[in-house]
Amino acid sequence: MARSTKGSGPELRRTVTPWGSFAWGYSDVGADIFVGLGLVLAWAAGASNVAFLFAGIVYVCIGLAYTELAATYPVAGGGQYFVMRGLGDIFGFIAGWAVLLDFTIDVTLFAWSSVDYSSQLLPALVNSIHPWLHFTVVLALVVGLCILNVIGVRESTAFNGFVSALDVISETCILCFGFLFAFRPQLLIHAMHFNWPSPYDLMLGTSLAIVSFVGLESISQAAQETQRPASIIPRTSVSLILTILIFALAYSNLALGLAPWHPIVDAAGHAQQFWQIFPHNADNQGKAVALLAAQVPYYGAFAALYVPVLGAVLLLISSNSGVFGSSRIAYAMSSSNLLPSIFQRVHGKYRTPTISIVFFSTIAIVELIFAAAPALHPSVGSLYAHFFHGENGLEFLADLYAFGAATSYSFVFLGLIALRLSDPLSPRKFKIPLNLPLHVRGERVEFPVIAVIGFIGIFSILMFTLRTHALGRIFGPSWLLLGLILYLVYRAYRRLPLLRSQQRNWRAAQVDILRRAGELELMDEYVANLKASDARRAAPRT
């Protein structure tokens, strides 16, 4: 029996291959455009491509940061671990707790949208017409994914890889046929000129655009279960960054140049411009890619039949990635004494963190109930309309999704900067470009300029989210506050430092991480760097 890092017991097995690593990321990020496109078009209108461009630039910075960090520190936990190691325990907890919010929302949001895409072919699943049936099907999907992840990551990875390959082919075909036979540049220019949103709506649309790029950290979450992660992760991450960026920018421009826009007055009496091929309502927001694909000449008739199915399946495996990611973050946080040790327990037969999977899937179900409540009961809908400007379930989930992502990514950039300064000796098989050479405590370090640019961009999106999302600015900070209270109570119970970090031997930990990852050459290089550094410090000064 393999030994875990704390005591005896089974540990996570390394079964994720190069394509499996890409598929985990793509199944999460690739599905985001199926949700984000409709939300951004509904608010950013003629500036939707600008909103996607701004979010895309930030996403590239995030992707490069995660690629370097995951290849350098290939452990389960991803951003939470990087921030904890760079900034300390309490900041690592905040980053991890924000990501946990994101991944539990991921489970519900994408299961919800999966049913929305299915409703294109099965009208009985339309939320506004049959809300209880819609809710029941989403609930069944969440429970089913929980069971799938308890069984094991190998089965989940095989499922993801097959569907991800189909979707890459499908999205490429939609874009190629769309730009060849339907795209009109003059319509794009007209939409941008006459349907430019107000500053408030542009901020709102940009904050929602980041939803289309959330999930790259799924690759780093699986780092401890990936074969030769320092070699595989950079290749899969860079490929994923380019694929998703191209798709997001291409779809937003195709949408603006495919069909005209027209004014609609919403329930509050505000006149806004909305895409002609789907009215401004949540049922159609949730399946925008299917509606767009159906408008493509020649190919559209065929796409109208299969895109709703493929979109539904891809969204389902993205929901699956949420179950996987939340359990691995909790596993890592428990290993670092940021959460109770019960979340670190691995099932003896399946070798998966069963308790973490079940616990955070339950939180996802609670979020589903809250999101579905306005449609299920009219009095709740009236309450939402009064206090939260009539946000629907899909927008509520997207609000929290954007908040959690922006919060955690902000800390990841700070963690990257801190690790560059405090741990310059760890071999970095992949290093983000644009670095300023410095000397800190006698060691040569490279200060990451892109990390600063990325932090400014993602922090701006966080401010946009708090400014424009009523539910997000209430429930997002409330989630963080609740987490901090639980963290302080747990640390006090364990008699651990409350605001300070535990003493850890990061050198020994890094050697062990590289050894377990099978990166023996990098381990030897790291040990050599340590010896050379110690020799320099011990040498008498002249």
What does the H/E/C string look like for 109-158? HHHHHHHHHHCCCCHHHCCCCCHHHHHHHHHHHHHHHHHHHHHCHHHHHH
pLDDT recorded at residue 190: 87
The Cα 424–Cα 445 span in angstroms is 6
For 310, the token pair is 């493929």
The reported pLDDT for the residue numbered 117 is: 92
Per-residue model confidence (pLDDT) at position 413: 96
Q: Which residues contact 312 (CB under 8 A, 6 or more apart)?
A: 114, 115, 117, 118
pLDDT of residue 225: 55
CA triplet 417, 460, 248: central angle to 5 degrees? 95
Three-class DSSP category at 262: strand
Tokens of 282: 């949540």
Please choose, from the candidates 311, 236, 226, the residue with its C-alpha nearest in 3D space to the C-alpha of residue 519: 226
For the chain of 542 residues, list the mean pLDDT of each consecutive stretch of 10.
Answer: 41 54 71 86 89 93 91 81 94 93 90 91 85 92 88 60 84 93 90 88 91 73 60 79 90 88 49 49 72 88 91 86 82 88 80 86 91 73 52 77 91 96 92 92 91 95 89 88 94 92 92 86 93 85 62
Residue 214: burial class (beta carbons within 10 Å; 0-12, 13-18, 19+): buried
- The contacts of residue 440 (CB under 8 Å, 6+ apart) are 421, 424
Give the contacts of 534 (CB within 8 A, at least 6 positions apart): none
Q: Let me know: does 108 contact 364? Beta carbons within 8 Å.
A: yes
- Which domains does the chain show, CATH number per domain? 18-414+429-434+449-487 (1.20.1740.10)
Q: How far apart are CA 45 and CA 252, in angstroms?
A: 10
With H, G, I as helix, E, B as strand and everything else as coil, classify residue 90. Answer: helix
- Chain centroid to Cα 106, Å, comes to 8
pTM as predicted: 0.84
The first and second tokens of residue 12, run together, are: 């996570």
Residues 6+ apart with CB under 8 A from 172: none
CB 82 within 8 A of CB 280: no
Which residues have CB under 8 Å from 276's CB, separation 6+? 259, 260, 261, 262
Element (H, E) at 291: helix 288-294
Give me the pLDDT at residue 114, please: 92
First to last CA, the chain: 54
Q: What pLDDT score does 223 carry?
A: 56
Helices and strands (H, E) in the chain, number of each type: 21, 4
Predicted confidence at residue 157, as pLDDT, reads 57
d(Cα 443, Cα 449) in Å, to the nearest integer?
Answer: 19
C-alpha distances (whole Å) from 462 to each of 31, 242, 307, 376, 465 are 22, 24, 32, 31, 5
Q: At what angle do helices 354-376 and 393-422 cross, to 10 degrees?
A: 140
